[in-house]
Amino acid sequence: MALCLSRAATTVVVAASHFSLSWTHSIERILWDEQWQVTPAGLVVVDASIRGSGAGMEPPDDAVLRDGVWHYRPRVPPQPEVVLAASDFTADHTLCAEGRCRPLHQWVPGEGPVRMTRCDAP
């Protein structure tokens, strides 16, 4: 299994069974980080952290504050796909996989949203 990143007519296969995705909240400018696994059922977010709180990003009730960072385990079923919007007004998402961390547009070039799905490694 692998992670597929698609944007417009381009698809890139990332040969990773787990990856992290981070971004900065557009209003509060606070870092959000999620750890994901690629499973037969789809993409599963297994851990998340928020480096603060603010408008629309309150940590859940079971979150634990450690060293100024809220940590929690999201309760979301496996996702067949995750669509990440692209905006000229916010910084790009950062994807870490295969020992590399890069802005999402460097993993899959082009304009518009990026679709993440589970796929078979080549």
pLDDT at 54 over 80: no
Mean pLDDT (whole number) for 16-31 = 82
- Rounded to whole angstroms, the maximal C-alpha distance in the chain is 43
Measured CA to CA in angstroms, residue 18 lies from 4, 22, 47 at distances of: 12, 14, 11
φ/ψ bin of 28: left (φ > 0), alpha (ψ from -120 to 50), beta (otherwise) = alpha
pLDDT higher for 94 or 120?
94
33-41: long-range contacts (C-beta < 8 A, 24 or more apart)? Answer: 34/74, 38/1, 38/2, 38/3, 38/118, 39/1, 39/78, 39/118, 40/1, 40/118, 41/78
Q: Provide the pLDDT for residue 103.
A: 94
Tell me which of 30 and 54 has the higher pLDDT.
Answer: 30
Residue 92 has pLDDT above 80, yes or no: yes
Q: How far apart are CA 48 and CA 100, in angstroms?
A: 19
Average pLDDT, the chain: 89
> Quick one: tokens of 21?
């995705």
Residue 91 has a pLDDT of: 76
Q: 118, 46 in Cβ contact below 8 A?
A: no
The overall pTM is greater than 0.95: no
- Position 120 scores a pLDDT of 86
